[in-house]
């Protein structure tokens, strides 16, 4: 099982990242967490700015695998396309954008991310923009641009059975049509709910085990989220120890289930991608010591 990490744009110039790259070899896959999505790179029809993506590719060590996050994400996608008058024109812009974004071809790509609502249905806004068959058409286009890349459906809300029934149905349908589709799981939990989360994570991995390859792509266990100012600072060392045990348990569950990649969504506490939370999600502490 490969160990991976996400890196946010504000950490690309950080000496922490330099030190991590120079001194630690445990990170085998890297993923840029933002700065490459459609609304972040769109300047005008046919004109895109991939400077953050390019900077990321220059920074990651040679020989490690580059994982590309969501081509289509429910929260940051589509606004610019809605200005174009027809579905045909939108697909033309999508293809131009994707051919730039996916060159060089990443090792793995989350083609869609969080596109299912609580009822397990694909969100209507995508169909309105791109037509009823947009998921299959998108996967076909990515597969044509990057024939050697692994393609994934990435989804969160592990506790929602309707969502995960739909994930498995989407994978089966795409595979039946000849698209080798896999699943990336977002492992997000607060420390208060981590024990029950471990159980549901194991349940989902068992459901997916014989269906496709599995990545766990966004490992994050919050200590402080929604509790800032309510937890005594004296508890911090104990909570960090508990967090380490939780991560170790998730790693064991993933290994036992045949997961191909286990990626932490922030490599170090000093610069989490969660800019708006004073949290500590990392696999390395502020001294870059590996927590396990």
- How many alpha carbons fall within 13 Å on the CB side of residue 201? 32
Mean pLDDT of the region 3-14: 86
The pLDDT value given to residue 285: 66
What residues does 51 pair with on adjacent strands?
none
Using the predicted structure, report yes or no on whether residue 32 has a pLDDT greater than 50: yes
Using the predicted structure, report yes or no on whether residue 194 has a pLDDT greater than 90: no
- Overall fold of domain 36-181: TIM Barrel (3.20.20)
Whether 1-33+187-292 shares its CATH topology with 36-181 is answered: yes
Using the predicted structure, report yes or no on whether residue 290 has a pLDDT greater than 80: no
Using the predicted structure, report yes or no on whether residue 52 has a pLDDT greater than 50: yes
141 in Cβ contact with 174 (< 8 Å): no
With bands split at pLDDT 50, 70 and 90, how would you rate the model's confidence at 181?
Answer: very high
Q: Beta strand pairing status for 42-44 and 47-48?
A: antiparallel
The pLDDT value given to residue 276: 45
The pLDDT value given to residue 46: 83
- Overall fold of domain 1-33+187-292: TIM Barrel (3.20.20)
Domain ranges of the chain: 1-33+187-292, 36-181
Cα–Cα distance, 233 to 187 (Å, whole number) = 26
List alpha helices for the chain, DSSP H: 15-23, 38-41, 51-59, 87-101, 124-130, 134-145, 161-176, 194-208, 236-256
- The length of the chain in residues reads 292
pTM of the model: 0.92
Number of other residues whose CB lies within 10 A of the CB of residue 77: 20
The pLDDT value given to residue 34: 87
Which CA distances in Å does 86 have to 80, 136, 159, 187? Answer: 13, 19, 37, 37
Burial environment of residue 1 by CB neighbours within 10 A (0 to 12, 13 to 18, 19 or more): middle
Residues 6+ apart with CB under 8 A from 269: 280, 281, 282, 284, 285, 286
With bands split at pLDDT 50, 70 and 90, how would you rate the model's confidence at 87?
Answer: very high
With bands split at pLDDT 50, 70 and 90, how would you rate the model's confidence at 261?
Answer: very high
């Amino acid at each position: 099982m490969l160990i991976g990490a996400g890196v946010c744009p504000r950490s690309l110039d950080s000496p922490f990242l330099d030190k991590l790259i120079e001194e630690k070899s445990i990170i085998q896959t890297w993923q840029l967490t933002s700065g490459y999505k459609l609304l972040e790179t769109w300047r005008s029809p046919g004109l895109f700015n991939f400077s953050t993506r390019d900077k990321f590719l220059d920074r990651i060590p040679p020989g490690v695998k580059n994982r590309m996050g969501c081509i289509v994400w429910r929260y940051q996608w589509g606004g610019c396309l809605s200005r174009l008058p027809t579905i045909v024109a939108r697909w033309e812009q999508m293809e131009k954008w994707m051919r730039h974004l996916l060159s060089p071809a990443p090792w793995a790509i989350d083609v869609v991310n969080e596109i299912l609502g609580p009822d397990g249905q694909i969100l209507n806004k995508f169909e309105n923009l791109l037509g009823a068959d947009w998921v299959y058409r998108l996967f076909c286009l990515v597969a044509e641009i990057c024939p050697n890349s692994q393609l994934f459906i990435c989804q969160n809300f592990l506790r929602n059975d309707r969502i995960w029934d739909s994930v498995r149905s989407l994978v089966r349908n795409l595979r039946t049509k000849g698209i080798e589709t896999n699943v990336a799981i977002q492992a997000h939990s607060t420390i208060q709910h981590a024990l029950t989360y471990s159980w549901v994570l194991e349940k989902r991995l068992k459901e997916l085990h014989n269906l496709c390859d599995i990545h766990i792509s966004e490992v994050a266990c919050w200590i402080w989220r929604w509790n800032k100012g309510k937890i005594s600072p004296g508890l911090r060392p104990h909570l960090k120890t508990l967090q380490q045990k939780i991560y170790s348990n998730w790693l064991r569950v993933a290994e036992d289930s045949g997961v191909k990649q286990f990626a932490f969504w922030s490599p170090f506490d000093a610069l989490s991608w969660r800019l708006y939370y004073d949290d500590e999600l990392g696999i390395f502490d502020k001294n870059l010591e590996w927590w396990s």
